[in-house]
Amino acid sequence: MKFGIIGAGIVGTALAVRLEEAGHECIGVHTRSRLSYERFQSYLKIQHLPLTELVPAADILFITTQDGMIRTVAESLSTKALLKPGQVWIHCSGSLPSDILRVKDSLPIHCLSLHPLQAFASVEEALILLAGTHFGIEGDGEELGDEIVKDLGGIPHHILAAKKTLYHAGAVVASNYLVVLASLAVELFAEAGIQAEEALSSLLPLMRGTLYNLEQAGIPQALTGPIARGDAQVVQGHLDHMPSNLVSIYQDLGLKALELGENKKAQQGFSYPQETLNLLKSLLGKSGVVDRDER
């Protein structure tokens, strides 16, 4: 397979390296950034080509620009008629459907989306993490998508275009909001007099342990802590002492934890005592807790 890359960012560079290693041929790369091209060249000695040469020569075209530029690139290529019949255009956005590439219904191309369900901070990290990464595949020619993902060492999953936004929202919660949760925990540690750097280094092993439990036991069995135990007194203490700006976040997460706790107990053949359940719901409900500033 001959493929071209438009947009030499982290994902585009890593894909090109791994696909070349799998026996495919990268015929060229096009990017507006000199620094991106220099970084690309440090991994693959592939020529920079104008779109007029790159696009018609490729069997598969990876448009790995920022999400906001994908449609613009597709429109530009369509307007200039830079394509060949049967060509496959692929983007790697998690939130956009493959049809974002199809500017006109009459275009004789296949459109595909391959989204790596992974956070890549650098090309080096991407090259390490691609193997074993799960990919969300959607669009024309999903079988081809499966083959490409397997060549990358990844694991393919087919998703529906109409549900892709929800799929991406789930990925954001699992990845980006995990950082937010860590930040909130560090903030609470700071209230307890623990410096941020020490707080994070203390919390990371705990977080790794929770991820290990998730991997081994799944949901809801991995849930531990006061809500899982039904310890309303501890929850009350948390709410009594934490900064008022964090109370509602703690409550919202706590209500979800309570749902999981009920499911966990049900799977084990138990349930919360009704009095405990009512008390926890009262503590975690917006009307049931007095704001710290009002005390």
Q: Is residue 242 part of a domain?
A: yes
pLDDT at 106: 78
Q: Is residue 295 part of a domain?
A: no
14 and 122 inside one domain: yes
Domain stop point among 159, 187, 213: 159
154-to-15, 60, 143, 208 alpha-carbon distances in Å = 11, 18, 14, 23
100 in Cβ contact with 70 (< 8 Å): yes
CA distance 17 to 39: 12
123 and 192 inside one domain: no
Alpha carbon dihedral 136, 141, 145, 146, in 10-degree steps, equals 90
pLDDT at 289: 42
Backbone dihedral region of 140: left (phi > 0), alpha (psi from -120 to 50 degrees) or beta? Answer: beta
135 and 197 inside one domain: no
78 and 218 inside one domain: no
The sign of the torsion formed by the CA atoms of 217, 223, 224, 228 equals negative
5 in Cβ contact with 63 (< 8 Å): no
Q: How many CA atoms lie within 13 A of 283 on its CB side?
A: 24
Domain stop point among 159, 183, 217: 159
126 and 13 inside one domain: yes
CATH number at residue 124: 3.40.50.720
Number of domains in the chain: 2
16 in Cβ contact with 44 (< 8 Å): yes
pLDDT at 167: 96
Q: Is residue 272 part of a domain?
A: yes
266 and 154 inside one domain: no
136 and 280 inside one domain: no
Q: Is residue 146 part of a domain?
A: yes
Q: Is residue 111 part of a domain?
A: yes
Contacts of 287 (CB under 8 A, 6+ apart): none
Domain stop point among 159, 187, 204: 159
CA distance 283 to 31: 55
Full domain range(s) for residue 272: 167-290
pLDDT at 82: 80
Sequential pLDDT tens for the chain (295 residues): 999 999 999 999 999 999 999 999 999 999 999 999 999 999 999 999 999 999 999 999 999 999 999 999 999 998 777 888 899 999 999 999 999 999 888 788 999 999 999 999 999 999 999 999 999 999 998 899 999 999 999 999 999 999 999 999 999 999 999 999 999 999 999 999 999 999 999 999 999 999 999 999 999 999 999 999 999 999 999 999 999 999 999 999 999 999 999 999 999 999 999 999 999 999 999 444 444 344 3
* Cross-strand bridge partners of residue 25: 2
235 and 92 inside one domain: no
> What is residue 48's DSSP assignment?
B
Q: Is residue 250 part of a domain?
A: yes
115 and 140 inside one domain: yes
pLDDT at 23: 97
Q: Is residue 235 part of a domain?
A: yes
pLDDT at 176: 94
Q: Is residue 109 part of a domain?
A: yes
194 and 118 inside one domain: no
131 and 8 inside one domain: yes
Long-range contacts, stretch 204-207, CB < 8 angstroms, 24+ apart: 207/178, 207/182
257 and 179 inside one domain: yes
Strands 25-30 and 60-63: unpaired
82 in Cβ contact with 55 (< 8 Å): yes
- The type of residue at 152 is L
CA distance 73 to 222: 44
Contacts of 28 (CB under 8 A, 6+ apart): 4, 5, 46, 47, 48, 49, 53, 54, 57, 58
138 in Cβ contact with 117 (< 8 Å): no
From the list 98, 97, 152, 151, the residue with the least C-alpha distance to 120 is: 152
